[in-house]
Chain A
Amino acid sequence: MFQHALTIFIASALINNFVFSRYLGLCIFFGVTKKMETAVGMSFTFTAVMLISAALNWVIYTYVMIPYHLGFLKIVIFIGTIAAFVQAADTIMKKVVPALYYKLGIYLALIVTNCVILAVPLINAEENYTLFESMAMAVGSGLGFSLALILMASIREKLELADVPKSFQGLPISFVLTGLIALAFLGFSGMITL
């Protein structure tokens, strides 16, 4: 069981990296990687939210949706759960860790719109993972996303000083960059067949 969970963990972090192999979560990816500060903040928040929301969704899926044959409502119910959880996290953070809350600002609420946060519970549901495997998937995806964010932020900060052609400045060159990194990540494919 552990071995399978470990496989899932590595697969979701590197081989099937959500940004570079599955092309999900791109709007937040590009929005947050302008500065290293925001990228790091976002990656912490994202991993934490991912873990808890994946667990919550698994519980609801297994104990409510499967017995009553409501599998077709996956997307609706998962989004509802995620939105409710993020709102609760927002309120709690504002009281308990206000410094972190103000630092993250709008990014916490933006996590709800991130496709990755919906993709992970959906994949868990389709592949019928156990709770432990779902959480391994969640942590793996969080780490993979963090890796992607930090890589991109460090390159984009250097890009500010580089001599980029006018029409490529800003988003276009970042897209080209992401494509190149995705090509590099292709090297991981086939390592583990899942």
Chain B
Amino acid sequence: MYEQMTNILLQSVHHVASVFMNNLLPQVAAEGAAGGDGSIPWNTVTMTLIVLAGLGIVFGVALAIVAARFVVKADPKVEKVRETLPGANCGACGFAGCMGYAEAVAGNPDVAVNLCAPGKAAVAEKIAEITGKKAEKVDPKIARVFCQGGNSLSQRKFIYTGVMDCTAAVLAAGGDKSCEYGCLGYATCMRACPFDAITMSADNLPVINAQKCTACGKCVAACPKQVIELALMSKAVVISCHSKDKGADTKKKCQVGCIACGICVRTCPVDAIKIDNNVARIDHGKCIVCGLCVKKCPTKAIHDYIPVRAKASIDPAKCDGLDVCAKVCPVNAISGELRSKHVVNQDKCIGCGMCESRCPKKAISMKSTASALSHPNAASMQETVKA
């Protein structure tokens, strides 16, 4: 029985194969090249082989010529530089993606090595090594939000129930916030950030994580109200308001808006603040980050991004009682007779650093308390938005 089945199986396979072969080469059947069924049609087979081989050779040669003629010399440095880059393709360097910057910095002698914002100093050094250029010190930047008017502190004009996106909300009469210069809070910036550096606070304001922010600028471009700007990380005192409305109007719309009262202008020891269009603005070139304006602002519109400041302390061994410090101290925290050791009142001291910079004997140093960081990048602690 098994023999019978195998026979039938073999016969049917043979039958199918012959039918298949006959139908595959119909022209051959018509041609009857070598005569008879099942015989090999050498004519066609030869031609096929010749034509296919010929075409293959022609194409191969053509491609080889094209490849040789249109060769693009790939600089090995470009690949090495590309490997050191983070690969986020954020465009902060100003070139088209990481590959674009790698090519520019390797090929063009004028392109600086420190343009990669996410890469920071480490990448700049590596690029300098590979390309033989010099790495310069660059001041790190960070994105700052110029609005403190969260849901609890500001008014809304109407209830918005459209697409929960700032660019969409702006289409509805400029957004639902009473203050037309303020942050709408629908997290468009958070979604635009390629480094996940932005989160929304409970009050619907963006909070920038200083550790993750690379100042690539994508959030700046994404915000339809232009509330976010890039600023130097070291200039930690910022007037967080863009409101160009008159003071009375601003006060109605938002509890923490700048009313252009001018108190900060008068308080600033270095004249770094100017009022323009009903809003005060700090000139970061002049600002010494003393933090005096923060305390004096009546609406608390100025934000100090250094959470806890180091306080001044005088080294008694070096102090000669020259009294310069006491004269420059804006809060009168230093006490002491002329020619005798001076002492800083730690409770009054606001950590502005003016005495430290003026002391001729360099007897003053800023000492951090146990809970604060004394690292120059103290601003890299997580900041909490003042309620």
Contacts and interface: CB of A to CB of B under 8 A. Distances in A.
Interface of A: 60, 64-65, 68-73, 76-77, 80-81, 84, 87-88, 91-92, 94-96, 98, 102, 161
Interface residues of B, number: 23
Interface of B: 24-25, 27, 31, 44, 47-48, 51-52, 55-56, 59, 62-63, 66-67, 70-72, 96, 99, 163, 168
B63 A94 contact: no
B29 to A, nearest CB: 12
B168 A161 contact: yes
Given A65-B51, A77-B52, A71 B27 contact: yes
A65 B47 CA distance: 10
Nearest to A89: B66
5 contacts: A60-B55, A64-B55, A77-B52, A80-B56, A94-B70
A80 to B, nearest CB: 6
A70 B63 contact: no
A77 B55 contact: yes
Interface of B is mostly: helix
Contacts of A81: 55, 59
Contacts, number: 54
Contact of A96 (B27, B52, B70, B99): B70
Contact of B47 (A60, A68, A80, A96): A68
Contact of B51 (A73, A87, A95, A161): A73
| Residue of A60, A72, A96 with most partner-chain B CB within 10 A | A72
A60 B58 CA distance: 12
Contact of B62 (A68, A88, A96): A88
A161 B191 CA distance: 14
Nearest to B70: A95
Interface of A is mostly: helix
Contacts of A80: 55-56, 59
Nearest to B168: A161
A64 B47 CA distance: 10
Contacts of B168: 161
B51 A64 contact: yes
B67 A91 contact: yes
Given A68-B47, A70-B48, A72-B25, A95 B59 contact: no
Nearest to B47: A68
| Residue of B27, B51, B163 with most partner-chain A CB within 10 A | B51
Nearest to A94: B72
A87 B63 contact: yes
Contacts of B66: 88, 91-92
Contacts of A70: 44, 47-48, 51
Contacts of A71: 27
Given A64-B55, A70-B48, A80-B59, 5 more contacts: A70-B44, A84-B63, A88-B66, A95-B71, A95-B72
Nearest to A162: B163
Given A60-B55, A161-B168, A84 B62 contact: yes
B215 to A, nearest CB: 26
Nearest to B68: A91
B62 to A, nearest CB: 7
A80 B60 CA distance: 11
Contacts of B63: 84, 87-88, 91
